[in-house]
């Protein structure tokens, strides 16, 4: 068991090495978008490690249980030599019980980090996962949120590109449309934006961003300037209620001349029901003239105020989520612009391909009508693949694309691929990647054109052995110098020293 002072020394070393690694990571030049994101995640992990070490070191210095004070007293007391030999005995006893125990110094771990930092192309680990649509953090993937949006009741159906431009225009949606389904939608949208920002910008303090957005929201909500949620306005009498002196009125018809709003405020001031027509309100109010006790049937129920307060709180919660969506939308504004450009470019390319296919289809349909009837079964003695028109493709085209050649992949479960183009493409598809993952092998470029399980395992062992041989081995790679200036490795130096030849 390590002593308190040794633990403190270890935490101090870890803090210094972590700080040094963070400085080198910041000064290291990044050559691409992927490398920048990976470097930010490494920096975030180092920062978290530094904070954790500092917290533990602070707890040891506070010494709430008094163990550190007792340890220092034992080392500096009158029996310091006794304490020294007692600890030496513990160390020998530990190594006697664990003769093969290997202690890996902390420097080895940070040397591995330095290798990854200096040679990012050899780093096969991915600290964060992105979908294919996101392009490793270059674009947004809001397809799931888009599906939820277009399924909301009363919402105009728009295409995906338009949605990317207006998904943060929540203030354009009417208040009566913002129900529970809408709340679930904006929660899903906020969850995705927070997760995307956490993956692309791991160094950003999201808690501070959310706190700032909430504070700004509270100010705008109180002042009634929050977008999409204007403050409900009305007469002062209708909101607060004002008492009315009935002694000046001799009939309810005279009260009716005051209008609906004034009668409502007077009824609210007395705690009576304030609904109904103008005549009903006037009669209800006039019936209280000269009465010391109010009729219970005329008293308003208290549940209405509770329901109104509950509705107001629900609206406030929805608006608070919208405020956070506005905040994170502003953070990813540049990424959204790149996404719109990328989706537009892909849509334009797909539209061009569809146009070419439609032209070919129209020409082919005319030729097919002239040749034969569409209802006839096509003649296909060579079992050729069918084309877009449901008829076999020409044999010369079948031979040109090499579709007569079959390729079998054992890693894919002996799945057969027709033609070299499909065979080469399948190495990057899900079936082959799943097979490699089941074998515990990364699907990298080293295993291109490898289809046999035995060959893949042998190549993976060879790569691992090669990586193992490149690792630093202290006995062979650490150099020592004797008194005559001869440089030898550590193992030779220790052998010569034991033999007394130095």
Strands 479-481 and 406-409: unpaired
- H helical segments located in 119-205: 143-150, 160-166, 180-200
> 427, 452, 186: which is closest to 326 by C-alpha?
186
- Contact residues for 9 (Cβ-Cβ < 8 A; gap 6+): none
Is the pTM higher than 0.85? no
Give me the residue spans of the domains in the chain.
4-122, 132-230+309-350, 247-287, 395-470
pLDDT at 457: 92
Quickly count: other Cβ atoms within 10 Å of residue 42's Cβ. Answer: 20
pLDDT at position 237: 35
Phi and psi, residue 406, nearest 5°: -110, 140
Give the mean pLDDT per block of 10 residues along the chain (502 residues): 82 92 88 86 91 92 86 77 82 82 78 80 73 89 92 88 90 85 92 92 90 90 85 44 73 81 80 81 82 69 63 87 92 92 83 58 50 60 79 85 88 91 90 91 89 92 87 74 82 85 74
328: alpha, beta or left, given left = phi > 0 and alpha = psi -120 to 50? Answer: alpha
Vertex 25: Cα angle to 24 and 30 (nearest 5): 120
CA distances from 305 to 146, 312, 318 (A): 37, 10, 20
User: What's the confidence (pLDDT) of residue 482?
Assistant: 78
- pLDDT, residue 355, reads 61
pLDDT at residue 374 in the model: 47
pLDDT at 370: 46
What is the model's pLDDT at position 346?
83
């Amino acid at each position: 068991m390590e002593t308190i002072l040794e633990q403190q020394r270890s935490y101090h070393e870890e803090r210094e090495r972590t700080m040094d690694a963070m400085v080198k990571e910041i000064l290291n030049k990044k050559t691409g978008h992927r490398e920048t994101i990976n470097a930010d995640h490494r920096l975030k992990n180092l920062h978290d490690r530094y904070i954790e070490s500092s917290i533990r070191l602070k707890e040891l210095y506070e010494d709430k249980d008094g163990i550190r004070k007792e340890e220092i007293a034992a080392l500096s007391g009158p029996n310091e030599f006794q304490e020294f030999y007692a600890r030496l005995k513990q160390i020998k006893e530990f190594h006697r019980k664990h003769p093969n125990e290997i202690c890996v110094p902390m420097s080895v771990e940070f040397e591995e980090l330095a290798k990854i930092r200096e040679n990012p192309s050899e780093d096969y680990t991915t600290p964060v996962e992105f979908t294919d649509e996101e392009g490793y953090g270059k674009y947004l993937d809001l397809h799931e949120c888009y599906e939820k949006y277009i399924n909301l009741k009363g919402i105009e159906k728009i295409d995906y590109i338009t949605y990317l431009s207006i998904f943060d225009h929540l203030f354009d949606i009417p208040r009566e449309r913002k129900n529970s389904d809408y709340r679930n939608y904006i929660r899903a949208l906020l969850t995705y934006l927070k997760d995307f920002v956490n993956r692309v910008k791991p160094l950003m303090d999201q808690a501070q961003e959310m706190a700032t957005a909430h504070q700004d929201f509270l100010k705008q909500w109180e002042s009634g300037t929050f977008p999409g949620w204007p403050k409900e306005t009305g007469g002062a009498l209708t909101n607060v209620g004002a008492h009315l002196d009935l002694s000046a009125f001799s009939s309810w018809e005279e009260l009716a001349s005051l209008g609906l709003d004034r009668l409502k405020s007077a009824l609210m001031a007395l705690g009576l029901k304030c609904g109904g027509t103008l005549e009903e309100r006037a009669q209800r109010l006039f019936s209280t003239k000269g009465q010391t006790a109010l009729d219970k049937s005329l008293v308003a129920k208290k549940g209405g105020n509770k329901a109104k307060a509950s509705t107001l709180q629900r609206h406030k919660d929805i608006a608070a989520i919208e405020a956070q969506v506005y905040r994170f939308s502003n953070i990813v504004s540049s990424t959204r612009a790149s996404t719109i450009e990328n989706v537009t470019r892909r849509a334009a390319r797909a539209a061009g391909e569809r146009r070419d296919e439609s032209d070919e289809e129209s020409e082919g349909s005319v030729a097919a009508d002239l040749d034969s009837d569409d209802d006839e079964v096509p003649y296909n003695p060579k079992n050729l693949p069918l084309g877009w028109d449901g008829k076999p493709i020409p044999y010369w085209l079948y031979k040109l694309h090499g579709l007569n050649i079959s390729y079998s992949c054992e890693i894919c479960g002996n799945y057969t691929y027709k033609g070299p183009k499909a065979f080469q493409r399948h190495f990057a598809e899900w079936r082959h990647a799943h097979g490699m993952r089941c074998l515990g092998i990364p699907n990298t470029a080293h295993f291109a054109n490898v289809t046999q399980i035995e060959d893949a395992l042998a190549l993976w062992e060879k790569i691992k052995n090669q990586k193992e041989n490149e690792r630093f081995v202290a006995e062979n790679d650490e150099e020592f110098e004797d008194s005559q200036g001869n440089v030898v490795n550590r193992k030779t130096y220790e052998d010569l020293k034991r033999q007394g030849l130095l």
